[in-house]
Amino acid sequence: MKTVIVTGAGAGIGRETAKLFARRGNRIIVADIDEAGAEATVDAIKAEHGEAVPYRLDVRSEAQWEDFAGWVKTQYGCADVLVNNAGVMDLGGFVETTPAQWQRMIDIGLMSVVYGSKVFAHQMIDAGRRGHIVNISSAASFLPSKLDTAYGVAKAAVLMATQSLRIELSRHGIGVTAICPGAIRTELLAHGERNGLSDEEREAWRADAATAQASMAYAGPEKVARAIERSVRHNWAVVPVNPEAWAIYGLFRLSPGLVRWGTANISFDFLEGTLERTKPLMKRIIDRRARA
């Protein structure tokens, strides 16, 4: 039985990934700062007769990653697969995002991947284990934008770091993959921030953003989970998920200038106006999915 670690596994993509690997006969370590969410994922896996244990992990802390790796080694031996999935999505332009808000995105979106990949790569190398590390980047890593600058920068860094790590670990027989999802039905925006707003405005925005993501993203987190599982089996390097992710990936490689021109013409005012006009339609879509 292999040991598979999934961070941010208390909900969304992480939960579906944990459940899928468990169905394949693996032991799952469900790591999340949200203890209740982690326990719920473990319960769901055990309900399907899988094996899973929860672990509270703040991915921003290098010390907690070190302790976590030591606990895994003591309890189960060397990890076989690490999925660095934990993350948040804050929106806001370059100038309106404060240094503290930039730091939050870098700590959660990038440094968590660095800490986790380093400590478990060392563990795999020392044990001679031909394991696999999966880092969740985003289609935003291909898409320069004034809407989610800090998030896009962090995810672009994850994409480059993952490819560099892949080169470095290949001689040890360790696979490394970057997964780049497009729009997925999760609570990523609901748990994120909209920089540049007051607290009251931010709460209203968060509710609207959650509705938009739930209605407009046609693919669920289980689709990303399947891409992750296949990537581990086939050792793929970079995997966009969803047609829009593939389209952005291809278009940016073909014409970066055209992509920059397109995103320069999309503003928060335009998006929020469109959101307000389409609220009735989005509500119908959500209600229909709930009945299905």
Q: What is the pLDDT of residues 206-263, one digit of tens each?
A: 665 555 555 455 678 999 999 999 999 999 999 999 988 898 888 888 888 887 777 7
pLDDT of 288 > 80? The answer is: no
CATH of the domain at 274: 3.40.50.720
Distance CA 272, CA 274 (A): 5
Element (H, E) at 82: strand 81-84
Distance CA 8, CA 56 (A): 10
Full residue range of the structural domain in which residue 156 is found? 3-291
Element (H, E) at 282: helix 268-291
- Number of domains into which the chain is organized: 1
Sheet with strand 81-84: strands edge to edge: 51-56, 27-32, 3-7, 81-84, 132-136, 175-181, 238-241
- Residues whose CB is less than 8 angstroms from the CB of residue 40 and which lie 6 or more positions away in sequence, other chains included: 10, 15
Tokens coding 96: 């309106």
pLDDT of 282 > 50? The answer is: no
User: Which residues are catalytic, by number?
Assistant: 151
Distance CA 278, CA 265 (A): 20
Distance of CA 45 to the CA centre of its chain: 20
Q: What is the pLDDT of residues 43-84, one digit of tens each?
A: 999 999 999 999 999 999 999 999 999 999 999 999 999 999
CA atoms within 13 A on the CB side of 154: 27
| pLDDT attached to residue 110 | 97
